[in-house]
Structure 1
Amino acid sequence: MKQRLNLVTAPIARTLLVFALPTLASSVLQSANGSIDTVWVGQLLGEDAVAATTNGNLVMFLMTAFVFGFGMAATILVGQSFGRGDIEAARRVVGTAVGTFVPVSLVLAVVGWFLAPQVLALLGTDPAITPLARDFLKVTFLALPAILTLTMLMMALRGSGDAVTPLIFMALAVVLDTGLNPVFIRGLGPAPEMGIGGSAMATAIANWVALAAILAAVYARDLPLRLRGAELRYLRPDPAILALMLRKGLPMGVQMIVVSGSMLAMMTLVNREGIDTTAAFGATQQLWTYVQMPAMALGAAVSAMAAQNIGAGRWDRVGTVTRTGILYNIALTGSLVLLLLVADRQAMEIFLGAGSGAVEIGRHIATLATWGFIPFGVTMVLFATIRANGQVIWPLAILFVSMFPVRLGVAHGLYDRLGADAIWLSFPTGMVATLVMASLLYRFGNWRAEHDMQVADAPGGEEA
């Protein structure tokens, strides 16, 4: 089977969809993994444990944000290098990315293990669930280096036009994780009984195995981004490439921090509403991961496709890629929003149980807020195109305004009048505000004038 698509010459509508579908399937698997893990935790350990994983997963999202930003920068650099036909430059980007962020992820894992209690205290985690959240979060840090490195490799492969290989090994990680959850939670067979920590242990084992397997496959199939022989020196970070990745990746990482920081602030408001509301919000977040999957997948596909066409100088195709991505997003995201609103009770009961008092709270949250993911999907495509040419500062500024003055302003400013509804309504309000500003940036901004995403020749004049 052909793994890598030609994103520069192939028909846009069909190619974008074919390229996005494996990425969407990867997102489905990843989200299903988290959802099934939540089901195992909820069914085997109860609502308190679900609330504990909600806090723990939010912290992990915050910890991975910076590396995700650098992964996005690597994806764009790889994509533009492939568009220019410079495979050697793409390999140098991957070498610098891996050589830099494997050590960083190991440091984050160690620091996170020791600081987990303090982080949970900052969140205002309910004392009733703090021990569970601590046990879950500390073991989850064992998976962090594998998760970050695996994510980096998958993003780089997509930048080269290969969305199938990441799908295969995402599937491997999900099968292992979901299968091992009950084994380590309950201590089946020779496995120790670890309770909520067993769910995190299953995640750690699954991601380390998937990382080893994808590396083996890259070399066994001699994929373009593999490093052999003298190319292994690329694992020593190139200062020029690293500086470019820092300059572009840091703002994208900060964007994730902004989103995470806003969610952390929202989480403190949610936690004040009681454990039932926290559990309901956790279940709603699980469902929202599915609703936003088309936006995330199409955003990634548009970013890679736009980057390669920009690298090849095919600006005539970039606008068509963007418009096609927007149309696909409205259709797919809108369908999922409608489906969730129709089947909200059944969806909530999967995570919370039929007799849970949190079900009705979750249904109410979904009714007020889920529609906002339609404008969110359009924004993801616009930002993907803008970032594909290296413009990362204005998207960061837009997200900051949307997440803090707008979203938190609505949540706090209307709380006395609307109660908890102000929290839920702040989500779509922020998404609409982001879309308005992103549209203005795409139409009138100077992002097309960026010219600093080309990787310089290696010392000694090495060329592809």
Structure 2
Amino acid sequence: MNGDLTKGPVMKSMLIFAVPMILGNLLQQCYNVADTLIVGQFIGSDALAAVGSAFTLMTFLTSILLGLCMGSGTLFSIRFGQKDEEGLKEAMCTSFLLIAALAVILNFLAFLCLDGISVFLRVPADVWPLMREYLVVIFCGIPAVFLYNYFASLLRSVGNSVVPLVFLGVSAVLNIALDLWFVIGLKRGVAGAAEATVIAQYVSGVGLMVYYWLRFPKLRVQRRHLRLHRACIREIGSFSILTCVQQSVMNLGILMVQGLVNSFGPAVMAAFAAAVKIDSFAYMPVQDFGNAFSTFIAQNYGAGKKERIRAGLKGAVITAAVFGILVSAVVWIGARQLMLIFVNAGETEIISEGVRYLHIEGAFYCGIGCLFL
């Protein structure tokens, strides 16, 4: 299913395209949420604190790759809107080589700096062994995160936002099943939770790559394309740097806060871990709507349809603002009930701290929504 966003009713076409992206990213959040939920309920609060801190770090690292893939996707969409098949292939090869190289570097640096992470994030001594055990495994999934996000951006750029959702749905179900088996059945602890996540990530990443290769023979690159194209490097940089900063700045801020939170001990760490998961679910839909909006803008820019872009911008701002108000109300009213999903009812200190966080964070979702456009 290839979607041409340069035709049809503006908001209808944008929303239809955005819904699978929103569902897909919500499923992607289920990877670590499954770890957090199962670890918190079946291992304990120290393990929950360890996995939560690791999640914050991994979110920051993967947000860099996600931003670069999204920026490349904008260029892909422009080429698609221009019907420039050769230019699309050149952009695909150049961006793949650049981002793959960065993924390898990130992976190497993550392992190299592993023991320094405890100092940087002020991880308590009783939590660090569990966090280190989790990170050693979860870092192995960075290449899979790159593969999935790259090919998902490529498919979305040509209007196909459904197939990435399907692959992500399969891998999310697999992740939950493996989490239950490894953690509860095999007693593998936090390492088992990480192993389940990494296996599921490779299923979605490699699976989507194989689907693209089989489904789009006309877009298969030839040997002549397998190099860095100078013009594409400049264009990819102009789009990707902005989206990379947009995606990573907020997560870098959360990572800095994580370091401060860790100094207060395991209970506050566990509260923050659960609250951040809820927070990510709250703003993720409008973030993905912003990604869909970027594809809409890029395709119509490539097709030279400026009036359509103006109409889309107006509708997108209104949609983001209304969503922000609604989700703020839901998080504010249901903060305690949402915390109970991750934490046993007897952990009153953890629940109380998490509710305080959500009440403050929830007041700003409207502004955050417009930020992603």
Confirm or deny a common fold (TM above 0.5).
yes
Structure 2 counterpart of 1:361: 353
1:331 CA drift (Å): 2.9
Structure 1 counterpart of 2:368: 376
1:368 maps to a residue whose letter is: I
1:223 CA drift (Å): 6.4
State whether structure 2 residue 220 is matched by structure 1 residue 227: yes
Structure 2 counterpart of 1:246: 237
Structure 2 counterpart of 1:304: 295
Choose which of 27, 42, 45 in structure 1 pairs with 2:43. 45
Report which stretch shifted further, 175-184 or 298-307.
175-184
Q: TM-score, normalised by structure 1?
A: 0.76
Alignment of 1:107-122 (within 5 A): 107-122=105-120
1:65 CA drift (Å): 3.4
State whether structure 2 residue 342 is matched by structure 1 residue 351: yes
**Cα separation, partners in 2 of 1:37 and 1:223, compared to 1, 3 Å:** farther
Q: Spell out, residue by residue over 1:36-73, the C-alpha distance to the aligned partner (whole angstroms, 9 max, x if none).
A: 22111111211111111122122212322332232122
1:118 CA drift (Å): 1.0
State whether structure 2 residue 154 is matched by structure 1 residue 156: yes
Question: Per the alignment, in what secondary structure is the counterpart of residue 292 of structure 1?
Answer: helix
Structure 2 counterpart of 1:197: 191
Choose which of 176, 179, 191 in structure 2 pairs with 1:178. 176
Cα distance in structure 1, aligned partners of 2:126 and 2:217 = 50
Cα distance in structure 1, aligned partners of 2:237 and 2:371 = 24
Q: Larger radius of gyration, structure 1 or 2? A: 1
**Cα separation, partners in 2 of 1:203 and 1:232, compared to 1, 3 Å:** farther
Q: Spell out, residue by residue over 1:51-108, the C-alpha distance to the aligned partner (whole angstroms, 9 max, x if none).
A: 1112212221232233223212211101111111112212221222223332432343
Whether contact under 8 Å (1:66, 1:250) holds in the other structure is no
2:358 maps to a residue whose letter is: A
Whether contact under 8 Å (2:322, 2:366) holds in the other structure is no
1:140 CA drift (Å): 0.6
Task: Give the paired residue count.
Answer: 372
Whether contact under 8 Å (2:32, 2:55) holds in the other structure is no
Q: Spell out, residue by residue over 1:125-179, the C-alpha distance to the aligned partner (whole angstroms, 9 max, x if none).
A: 1112011111111111111101112111111211221111111111122111111
**Cα separation, partners in 2 of 1:103 and 1:379, compared to 1, 3 Å:** closer
State whether structure 2 residue 216 is matched by structure 1 residue 218: no
Whether contact under 8 Å (2:327, 2:365) holds in the other structure is no
Whether contact under 8 Å (1:51, 1:275) holds in the other structure is yes
Question: Per the alignment, in what secondary structure is the counterpart of residue 162 of structure 1?
Answer: coil
Whether contact under 8 Å (1:98, 1:149) holds in the other structure is no
Cα distance in structure 1, aligned partners of 2:99 and 2:259 = 31
Structure 1 counterpart of 2:33: 35
2:263 maps to a residue whose letter is: R
Structure 2: unaligned runs, 5 residues or longer: none
1:187 CA drift (Å): 5.3
Cα distance in structure 1, aligned partners of 2:70 and 2:23 = 19
Structure 1 counterpart of 2:11: 13
Q: TM-score, normalised by structure 2?
A: 0.93
Greater RCO, CA 8 A, separation 6+: 2
2:352 maps to a residue whose letter is: E
Cα distance in structure 2, aligned partners of 1:261 and 1:288 = 15
Structure 1 counterpart of 2:97: 99
Cα distance in structure 2, aligned partners of 1:61 and 1:12 = 32
Structure 1 counterpart of 2:203: 209
Whether contact under 8 Å (1:74, 1:97) holds in the other structure is yes
**Root mean square deviation of aligned Cα:** 1.9
Cα distance in structure 2, aligned partners of 1:115 and 1:194 = 25
Identity %: 26
Structure 2 counterpart of 1:273: 264
Cα distance in structure 2, aligned partners of 1:143 and 1:164 = 23
